[in-house]
Amino acid sequence: QVQLVESGGGSVQAGGSLRLSCAASGFPFSPHCWGWFRQAAGKEREWLAIIDYDDNTDYTDSVKGRFTISQDNAKTTLYLQMHSLKAEDTAMYYCAADQSGHLYSGGYCTTPGAWGPAAFGSWGQGTQVTVSS
């Protein structure tokens, strides 16, 4: 049974840092692409970052330079290191896996674009991040 479990969320003051983790289990093979998303209250789920099997990464502009996506060598734990947090980063944060390879092309994972969250077939339950100003 495929399972993704996020942890590491919490409350932090603006300017602070948090590191989120996502433990993956039950995958018959390592997905080509992993992503982090967030969803603030009353807003749509927003893509933040993507990483492929070879550790190539990409980010949405709003977090570029502040957030870093990474994974362990075993490809079983995904991370999101967040620095310089702002009040507008307050949201539920989710990790996700693209097992079907919707975003995998030419050896890289492309940004979700028109696919959006639908490209990712497996999701964690989320971890809340609250940033106070």
The larger pLDDT score, comparing residue 69 to residue 133, is at 69
pLDDT recorded at residue 29? 83
Residue 71 — pLDDT band, cuts 50, 70, 90?
very high
Q: For the residues 20-46, what does the mean pLDDT come to?
A: 94
- Whole-number Å distance between alpha carbons of 107 and 99: 15
Q: At 11, list the tokens.
A: 């409350």
Proportion of the chain above pLDDT 90, given as a percent: 82
For the chain, percent helix, then strand, then coil, each to nearest 5? 5, 50, 45
pLDDT recorded at residue 93? 98
